[in-house]
Amino acid sequence: MKETRYIWLKNPDNLTDKQRERLGQLLQTEYLDTVQSYSCRLELQDFYETHKERR
């Protein structure tokens, strides 16, 4: 988890290849609260973007 702050904060499309690889490794650890929070963040972001387009 050390030095992963910006991986969690950046949108997946903006990650470097190295960061994307590290994120993949981190996401395999499902019991981490950070992984669950990250998943919720992406779902909420997708929900917002979907409803924003409908307006």
Query: Tokens in use for 44?
Result: 């909420």
User: For the segment 4-35, what is each residue's pLDDT rounded down to a tens digit?
Assistant: 999 999 999 999 999 999 999 999 987 889 99
Q: Classify 44 as helix, strand or coil.
A: helix
From 49, 14, 4, 3, select the one nearest 35 (Cα to Cα): 4
Confidence of residue 55 (pLDDT cuts 50, 70, 90): low
Q: What is the pLDDT of residue 30?
A: 76
DSSP 39: H
Secondary structure element (H or E) that encloses residue 9, with its range: helix 5-9
